[in-house]
Amino acid sequence: MKLSRRIIVISALLVAAAIGVAGTWALAGGPRYATAPTPITIGATPITSFDNRDPTRVRFGELEFRGGLALTSGFAAFGGISGLHIEPDGAHLLAVTDNGSWLKARIVYRDGRPDGLADAEMAPLLAEDGKPLASQHKYDSESLTRIGDNFYVGIERVEKIVRFAVKDGLAARGEEIATPPDFKTFKYNKSLECLASPPQGQPYAGKLIAVTEESLDAAGNHRAFVLDPASRDAAGTLRFTVKRSDDFDVSDCTILPPGDLLLLERSYSPLKGVAMRIRRIAVGAIKEGALVDGPVLIKADLGYQIDNMEGIAVTRNAAGETIITLVSDDNFSAIQRNILLQFALVE
């Protein structure tokens, strides 16, 4: 269906309004989070084309569209999908939601395209005392990465990074890691959207790269950090900045092996509507005090099958292709969608 500019702008306004309402509702009434590990059923409607105006088009910038899913569930805590991790098999995923829940599932493929989600389960992110983090007002869990035997989750509002042991699964209890004093100066609810860690053999292997959403420096660029998760006092934290451009803000990140940082970004304005893009930055360019930038792989607005895109992960398929998976955060709004999109990087 061809989308007129008027429909796109109205849709963008509704999305922005939903984001504001969802945030206010969460503060007033508390978040909807899973209270115990619970198997759930997720409905998946295939998204067969990315361009609403030309269903035959598959190439978008440096990416080739491979398929997508619109996801729904009757489980009250489902939604708000933010940080994303996918295992090397390209199927088993783990995500965190805004309201402090884990989402675990397996992507089912048909002819190399995502066809559904199976074996889905949700559970609360737990604090060290075994109680849900959300019950302690530690929610807006926005970013997720794995280093060795641990997952790390970035939590806005409280500006914390929490470590969870992989071996404990969804029953893992979180341990807050040391963060620098800078974290206390972040813009409220505009911070820890991006956590990533380079693989062994690359600069900063075993470290956490954190880029803020809209906590900017005096020049208007994204404040960013490299932290040692094993440090007791975060004294060795490296500080750098990421160039901000065209009113795009960071919503997630991941590592594109062997040594690039992929930034998922989004923008919104009443005139231009909602948009997303992916930027590629060399990890080797990250130095103390550096301002880093890189090329855009893809950029899309509401003329394409996007929503509030907030999660990104990279895997390789059996054919050796690099697959980029994106997920969106519906803000628990009836006028937004939780969608999963997959692209192959054209190399």
- Residue 19 confidence (pLDDT): 43
| C-alpha to C-alpha distance for 115 and 65, rounded to whole angstroms | 14
- Residue 125 confidence (pLDDT): 98
| C-alpha to C-alpha distance for 74 and 168, rounded to whole angstroms | 27
| C-alpha to C-alpha distance for 214 and 293, rounded to whole angstroms | 16
- Residue 230 confidence (pLDDT): 96
Give Cα 191 distance to the centre of its chain.
13
Is 17 a residue whose pLDDT tops 70? Answer: no
Q: Is 188 helix (H, G, I), strand (E, B) or coil?
A: coil
Indicate which CATH number applies to the domain containing 264.
2.120.10
- Residue 23 confidence (pLDDT): 40
Residue among 331, 245, 341 nearest 294 (CA): 245
Residue among 252, 264, 305 nearest 68 (CA): 305
Percent of the chain predicted with pLDDT > 90: 86
> What is the domain count for the chain?
1
Longest dimension (CA), the chain: 55
- Residue 8 confidence (pLDDT): 40
Whole-model pTM above 0.85?
yes
Question: Average pLDDT over the chain, rounded to whole?
Answer: 91
Side chain identity, residue 306: I
How does pLDDT run across 69-79, given as a tens digit for each residue?
A: 999 999 999 99
Question: Cis omega (within 30 of 0) on the bond before 258?
Answer: yes
Question: pLDDT tier at 9 (50, 70, 90 boundaries)?
Answer: very low
Q: Are 109 and 91 in contact (CB under 8 A)?
A: yes
- Give the pairing type, strands 92-97 and 81-86: antiparallel
> Range of 72's domain?
5-345
- What mean pLDDT comes out for the span 23-49? 78
- Residue 297 confidence (pLDDT): 98
How does pLDDT run across 112-141, given as a tens digit for each residue?
A: 999 999 999 999 999 999 999 999 988 899
Q: Are 139 and 155 in contact (CB under 8 A)?
A: yes
Per the structure block, which two tokens stand in for 323?
A: 């697959």
- Residue 31 confidence (pLDDT): 64
Question: pLDDT tier at 5 (50, 70, 90 boundaries)?
Answer: very low
